[in-house]
Amino acid sequence: MDGLETFHALRDINPGIIGVLITGHGTIDMAIQAMDRGLSGFVRKPFTPRELARAAKDAFARSA
């Protein structure tokens, strides 16, 4: 099960869940697809703590 599949399985249990995709092989197309599929953010490895915190903050802001 990959990250998107995991997110969708969790969303079946809790429809209000917020997700940020973290990947080492991400592209802009993947980021767009992830957002279209319900994720609220995207971070590409390697990332800094600041980048991850920003993605999480933005994801919460989008869900409000």
Taking Cα atoms as reference points, which of 50, 64, 47 lies closest to residue 21?
A: 47
Other CB atoms within 10 Å distance of the CB of residue 60: 13
Question: Across the chain, which distance is largest between two alpha carbons, in Å?
Answer: 30
pLDDT interval class at 61 (50, 70, 90):
very high
Q: What pLDDT band is residue 28 in, cutting at 50, 70 and 90?
A: confident
- pLDDT tens profile 10-22: 999 999 999 998 9
Q: What's this model's pTM, rounded to 2 decimal places?
A: 0.77
SS (H, E, C) 1-64: CCHHHHHHHHHHHCCCCCCEEEECCCCHHHHHHHHHCCCCEEEECCCCHHHHHHHHHHHHHHHC
Look at residue 15 in the predicted model and tell me its pLDDT.
92
Average pLDDT over every residue of 36-48: 90
